[in-house]
Structure 1
Amino acid sequence: MTRLTFNFIILVGIVSILCSPNTFAQSNGKIVGKVTEATSGTPLIGANVILLNTSEGASADLQGNYTISGVEPGNYQISASYLGYEEAVLEITVQANQVTVVDFALKESATELSGVTVYGQLTRGQAKALNEQKNAPNIKNVVSSEQFLLFPDRNAAETVARIPGISISYDQGEGELVQIRGLAPQYNSLTVNGQRIPAPDPDLGRAVGLDLLNQDLMENIVVTKALTPDIDGDAIGGNINFQMKQAPDEGILVVNAGGGYNAQHSYFDEYGKDIMNLSGYAGQRFFDKKLGVLFAASYYKTNRGSLLKELEYDDITMTDHIFAQHSNDYDVLRERTGFNLNTEFKFDQFNRIYVNANYNRYFDKEIRRLNEWIIDDEEETKETRNRVEDQFLTNAMFGGNHNFNGIKLDYTGSWIKAKEEMPARTYFRFQRDFDFSGYTNDEIKEFSPNTKFTQEDVLTLNRIRVDDNLKEDEDISGMFNVEIPYFLTGEKSTIKFGGKYTDKSAKYTARRL
């Protein structure tokens, strides 16, 4: 399936733009620059830059760059402010038809309250997220890794659940599917670096289980609850975009290791009781800091299990007579593996290109054993079910951000593929007659949940089934956005337009013996 869409954002009529005498004032000057954090040099996304005593100003972009066009020649005071940082004010002179470069390096601010000092360093990453959220033209929530990595969440679903308006469903004690504003998962869209994630599980339809993704590879999580025209209009509830870690401004190396032991495991303990969590990333700048490279990796392993016992009472005679007992045991092994490679090249502070690639694997192996006693039918049933669910998400993207004399251009080309393999899912069912005479209700309640077969068990094979499933979903897409500034009756405005092309293919194979 191929889909071609064009999105237009027209803020003011085109005719007025062309007829306005101030549309492109040639005698005015322009101010450009970059806003960074003084200690680390990290760009401060969304920082406010204002020409004092005028209506002119701008916000810093993802690289911390800003542009103020159409400034009349003269002397000005220009200020830069950012949440958690001290405001900086500079004296500048703007000349006709000239570009004035003004860079800011903001220092963290501290507030003393009754002897308690709060330092901005503790919220540096989250301050960027809050500024992006504050300056957004729509309703969104932005959470940085500085915040969500403080919590012992096991996957991306549990991390997203901490954001207002979001709830999740669980599978074997781990978060899986996400609801936004109460709407079912299939009515929401999930993206990685802006790429729509295809659905690898055929049983979930359009919904995507977030147990596939590991939050250790992410930099920010952006939840958009009101879609704008530059976001795909295929979601009613909203969109969740997972922004992966990007190349740093300075060299960095981080390694995290954790482990645990689950003493309260299920009865059979097929996969052990250990828990392992490893992650890390390393990044560096080369060639006078023009080329940036970052590599991140993550591995998570856990063994989960559960024991379920159900008793059915006779609902006809309405007595305490037990009609049946069901004992289920689940042993589950889960592993998540992820890699992220990001490279970018900065020609200057206004022009950059980048290439990134991500790989995620979710391995889920489950053994289920069932013992079932039907008292009135004098029948015992034993079942075993073995299932392996192996999911893969692989994607690659290239793109760029450019600023040509105030005209902004961004573009991306991407490929993403989701695959789920479920090989040799087996189901065996055995039955035999069982004499329950002489057993009391209390004795039936204490029947052992141990469903492993022994030499003394003589049962008849009643049913056997083997399933082999494969689902592949692949998307190839390209998009661009152009933003052009202009002046109408002396007021600065912008017109933005863009387009997107998507080619989608899916294949599902199912075999049953």
Structure 2
Amino acid sequence: MSSIYKLLSLLVGICFSLSASAGIIKGKVSDSKTHEPLVGAVVEAENGNAKYKTVVNLDGSFIFKNLPEGNYGIKIKSMGYKVSEEFKVTVKDLKDIQTLGNIELKNDVTELVAVNISGGNKQSDSYVRSIEKNADMVQNILSEKTIQLLPDVTVANALQRISGVTIQRDNSGEGRYAIIRGMAQRYNSTLVNGVKIPSPDDKYRFVPMDLFPSDMLERLEVIKALTPNMEGDAIGGTMNLVMKSAPDKFLLNANVAGGYSTLFSDRPFSSFDHAGMKNASPAELKGNNYQATAADFSLNHFHYSDKSAPVNTTVGLTIGDRFLNKKLGVIISASYQNFFRGSNSTMITPSANTDIHPVPTTLMITDVLDRRYSTQTNRIALHNKIDYAFNDRNKISLYNFYVHQNEYQTRYTNDTTFGTNSSAVQKSVDIEYRSRWQIQDIYNATLHGEHQLSNKVTFDWSGVYSIAKSNVPDMSIYNFNGNVLFDGNGKATKTDSSTYGTSVGHTWQHNSDQDLAGYANIMYKPRIFHQEVELQGGGLYRYKTRDNYYNDYTLKPSYGTSQAFHTIDTLSLAFNPTQNGTGNVTALVPNNYTAHEHITAGYVQARFMLLPALQVLGGVRIENTQQDYTTVMGFDFSQKNGTIHYTDVLPSVHFKYLLSSKENLRLSYFKSISRPGFGDLIPAPIRGEQFTEQGNPDLKHVRADNIDVRYELFPGGAGQLLLGGFYKQLQNPIEYFVINQGGPSALVIEAQNTNKATNFGFEAVYTKYIGKFGISANYTYTHSEVTTPKFTKYYDKALAQTQTGSTTQTRPLQGQANHVGNVSLLYKNPKIGLDIQIAFSYTGDRITQVSAWNNLDIWQKPYTQLDFSLEKSLSKHFYFFTKINNLTNSANKLYIKVDPGVLDNFITQGLPNQVAGSNIITMQKEVVYLSFLGGIKYKF
């Protein structure tokens, strides 16, 4: 396999390397302990009074060209390292090439005799390559240096650069959730410093990854094969956010930047005043039986103002040091981000019903929407870690993390009922404005201790408190209606002045998810059969408390359609009938609940060398889950409360064969689970725009068997070649099924278990640096299959009427793309302090929404994005940087596959964004345009 790497390296060398010149001295420079390249080290060549200087490149190499004949003294200097001895080199003539080989520098930092805390340059790619190589399991890591140079400012967007990871984007084009190896977000878990954190999501367990600023990380790990000492609820993978820890010496980093989205060069950003939004609903303030009136609801947030090209800002600060003879380490990091983003989209709304013409189960369309989002995201994140080493056997640390995010979103929708444009017609047009403010918080505190009880026994423990919250206070919507006259060419000619208001809605929703957890692990290293064996055991206990509140109110115009609509302030509103003033708390009360979860887990594992080159790690984990929930429904409600208990035995074994000092061959098997979200379990109907979703208390958790195989080559420095495959078989995968048809325009769906699903694929990762140039690339192929029931619509000739039937459909898992890839081209010139990166990402087509009808699932077209980043030193401590996203203005497009000829029927009716003769109907086209950020960094 190493020959493959050499071939790839040769190809890269042909692309990037420059031809050699005469009179050359060259060599390499690395750290004497970690053997990683000392990028940026200064190399001096002195010949009498003539002095020459160069710097070490990305791959650790340096070169002097066009040197005159003579004797040279070579010295290498790098901050924090001892100056090398002087090397004597003679250049005989202009065609002479002298090679010094690899020169290793020794660290100049005085190390503690009793307490050894330092360990290599943790920010570098070389450091994380060593972690990947020496790890017990399959994983991929982004280093702090790589994260800093990426065009991304959140962890969600940075995740898409990792092999096998795609992201689900929000309505402003920003990444929010990670899909790992085609497994949707429900099948993945999130850790901060190895500790699982709760989610602020109102229904699910997965954590919105856009909450985390990327500049606070020391590294970003995606673990794809679980060992027994890891929590077992991850089938796709586990994301571990390793936050910055205290440095060996004083550290001060700061950054400030500004920029904007070019979307708002074409249209203004629409904002509203959130000051009048009440945190609690009338029912919360005055009781569920209170009869609310229109006077209880503010209209201030229906007053919109426009901003032209609002400025995005980011500010970051990290400060840290060690005290008390290096025993006490302290680091504090803070980040502030304020972004204005949005999108313009044309959306086609499918009906909950279908037609039989021109073919059975034909798509029906109800509306064409023109929608504009304006979203301001204000994010504050803080983290602090204090560690103290009593001696070389006892250490303790306290970690705190807090993130607070406000999202203010204005949504404008022009909803035109779909119809013919072949002649002059009058269309009914609905206009909707929505004001939404969401507040999300996550706080985690972890007290951790490490103790060397004897030469063979170590013990560590953690006490954890975490809480996640989400609050949507008074999300408000108002609608008004107008009649627009269209001519025979489909152009609007006149809007009837007698428009009228249709409804005003107010919704309150808030939830919290609190964890109290304890972890303990003990390790014993005896010698068995003349070799050291590592035996480990331990467990955890977690107590989770989750609550949810939901209530909404709908007001109608007092005079119906007879009152002309001019502004929201002149519209007379009331509840009709009056008793609706209590809101929907009686109809939707199951969605007001409190739930608890107890997780008790224990494990044993052993690691040993079965052969001189074969390491084996194996063991078993047992996890017991106990859940209960209580709604505020009356005792006559059969599912007022419920309890769920189950126990899982999760074996795993991991083989790592050392082909050489730089090559590994891995084979892993592990069993894992995925617990349903609380919104999946609670029997509460949650109304959506196109369907009502209902919880299922009989839902089973998902179990999976996972196999991984991977070849690894780490030739040195940041280089790597990884080739691997994976296979997953899921038992009881969770999919959504239609359980009731509420008429032709409404569907009720419920999370249910299907029999099984399979998912397998192949991954390749390649990184190579030659001189000042580098390439980093990865590709993942994934294939999955799941079979679920679907409805069909057909005409029964015998009965002479339209019938609804049932069938099954085999399809990929939702969110899984067959082809995923990333390519980054890098240029680094340490001599002038310049870093440049062009990053390209590709995600193939995938299902974004599963339909109740056979073969009418909504797919996302292949999505590509080209980004750019640059960092340039201005002086010893100051740097300029810029990040530019979506250089090609890529649009997000959704489609439905149809039989040939079906589309042409819709085109004649004026359906937008379609291509005649195609076998797909474009359901949505969403554009966000280019955005950029530029600023200054200070590094001490």
Deviation, 1:128, is 1.6
Equivalent positions of 1:72-91 (< 5 A) are: 81-84=33-36
Q: Helix, strand or coil for the counterpart of 2:186? A: helix
Q: Which residue number in structure 1 is paired with residue 163 of structure 2?
A: 164
Partner letter of residue 82 of structure 1?
Answer: T
Q: Which residue number in structure 2 is paired with residue 452 of structure 1?
A: none
- What is the CA RMSD across the aligned residues, in angstroms? 3.3
Q: Which residue number in structure 1 is paired with residue 180 of structure 2?
A: 180
Equivalent positions of 1:393-412 (< 5 A) are: 393-406=442-455, 407-412=457-462
TM-score by length of 1: 0.71
Whether the 8 Å contact between 1:222 and 1:242 is mirrored in structure 2 is: yes
- Going from structure 1 to structure 2, the CA distance change for 1:304 and 1:193 (only over 3 Å counts) comes to same
Counterpart CA distance in 1 for 2:426 and 2:367 is: 9
Deviation, 1:390, is 1.0
Counterpart CA distance in 2 for 1:295 and 1:323 is: 54
Partner letter of residue 411 of structure 2?
Answer: R
Counterpart CA distance in 2 for 1:190 and 1:418 is: 13
Equivalent positions of 1:38-187 (< 5 A) are: 81-84=33-36, 110-112=60-62, 125-171=124-170, 172-187=172-187
Report sequence identity in percent: 27
- Going from structure 1 to structure 2, the CA distance change for 1:218 and 1:118 (only over 3 Å counts) comes to farther
2:412 aligned to which of 363, 369, 379: 369
- Going from structure 1 to structure 2, the CA distance change for 1:259 and 1:296 (only over 3 Å counts) comes to same
Q: Which residue number in structure 1 is paired with residue 337 of structure 2?
A: 300
Equivalent positions of 1:346-361 (< 5 A) are: 346-361=389-404
- Going from structure 1 to structure 2, the CA distance change for 1:182 and 1:378 (only over 3 Å counts) comes to closer
For structure 1, the residue ranges without an aligned partner over 5 or more in a row are 1-38, 45-79, 87-107, 449-455
Q: Which residue number in structure 1 is paired with residue 543 of structure 2?
A: 503
Partner letter of residue 344 of structure 1?
Answer: D
Partner letter of residue 190 of structure 1?
Answer: T
Equivalent positions of 1:274-285 (< 5 A) are: 274-285=311-322
Partner letter of residue 343 of structure 1?
Answer: I
Length, aligned pairs only: 401
Counterpart CA distance in 2 for 1:405 and 1:122 is: 29
Q: Which residue number in structure 2 is paired with residue 383 of structure 1?
A: 432
Whether the 8 Å contact between 2:406 and 2:438 is mirrored in structure 1 is: yes
- Do residues 461 (structure 1) and 501 (structure 2) align? yes
Counterpart CA distance in 2 for 1:185 and 1:311 is: 26
Q: Helix, strand or coil for the counterpart of 2:525? A: strand
Equivalent positions of 1:324-335 (< 5 A) are: 326-335=369-378
Counterpart CA distance in 1 for 2:502 and 2:490 is: 29
Whether the 8 Å contact between 1:385 and 1:428 is mirrored in structure 2 is: yes
C-alpha deviations, 1:455-503, integer Å up to 9, x for none?
x965322122111000100111111111111111211112111111111
For structure 2, the residue ranges without an aligned partner over 5 or more in a row are 1-29, 39-57, 66-98, 105-119, 272-306, 350-354, 359-364, 420-424, 554-940
Partner letter of residue 384 of structure 1?
Answer: Y
- Do residues 441 (structure 1) and 496 (structure 2) align? no
Deviation, 1:280, is 1.3
Partner letter of residue 439 of structure 2?
Answer: D
Whether the 8 Å contact between 2:484 and 2:494 is mirrored in structure 1 is: no
Deviation, 1:275, is 0.9
Q: Which residue number in structure 1 is paired with residue 640 of structure 2?
A: none
Counterpart CA distance in 2 for 1:331 and 1:457 is: 28
Deviation, 1:216, is 1.4
1:512 aligned to which of 546, 552, 555: 552
- Going from structure 1 to structure 2, the CA distance change for 1:230 and 1:110 (only over 3 Å counts) comes to same
Whether the 8 Å contact between 1:112 and 1:118 is mirrored in structure 2 is: no
Deviation, 1:144, is 1.7
Counterpart CA distance in 2 for 1:200 and 1:118 is: 51
Partner letter of residue 250 of structure 2?
Answer: G
Whether the 8 Å contact between 1:256 and 1:279 is mirrored in structure 2 is: yes
Deviation, 1:174, is 0.4
Deviation, 1:305, is 2.0
Counterpart CA distance in 2 for 1:118 and 1:475 is: 51
Q: Helix, strand or coil for the counterpart of 1:270? A: strand
Deviation, 1:306, is 2.1
Whether the 8 Å contact between 1:481 and 1:496 is mirrored in structure 2 is: yes
- Do residues 430 (structure 1) and 430 (structure 2) align? no
Q: Which residue number in structure 1 is paired with residue 465 of structure 2?
A: 415
Counterpart CA distance in 1 for 2:59 and 2:246 is: 26
Counterpart CA distance in 2 for 1:341 and 1:465 is: 42
Partner letter of residue 129 of structure 2?
Answer: L
Q: Helix, strand or coil for the counterpart of 2:152? A: coil
- Going from structure 1 to structure 2, the CA distance change for 1:499 and 1:330 (only over 3 Å counts) comes to same
Counterpart CA distance in 1 for 2:401 and 2:494 is: 49
Counterpart CA distance in 2 for 1:243 and 1:209 is: 17
Whether the 8 Å contact between 1:275 and 1:302 is mirrored in structure 2 is: yes
Counterpart CA distance in 1 for 2:223 and 2:408 is: 34
Counterpart CA distance in 1 for 2:206 and 2:123 is: 34
Counterpart CA distance in 1 for 2:533 and 2:196 is: 31
Deviation, 1:404, is 2.9
Counterpart CA distance in 1 for 2:504 and 2:182 is: 40
C-alpha deviations, 1:121-166, integer Å up to 9, x for none?
9996222211111111111122221111101203111111111111
Counterpart CA distance in 1 for 2:103 and 2:516 is: 45
- Going from structure 1 to structure 2, the CA distance change for 1:382 and 1:111 (only over 3 Å counts) comes to closer
Counterpart CA distance in 2 for 1:304 and 1:447 is: 33
- Going from structure 1 to structure 2, the CA distance change for 1:282 and 1:463 (only over 3 Å counts) comes to same
Counterpart CA distance in 2 for 1:124 and 1:248 is: 11
Deviation, 1:348, is 2.4
- Going from structure 1 to structure 2, the CA distance change for 1:471 and 1:447 (only over 3 Å counts) comes to farther
Deviation, 1:309, is 3.8
TM-score by length of 2: 0.40
Runs of 4+ in 1 over 6 A off after TM superposition: 113-123
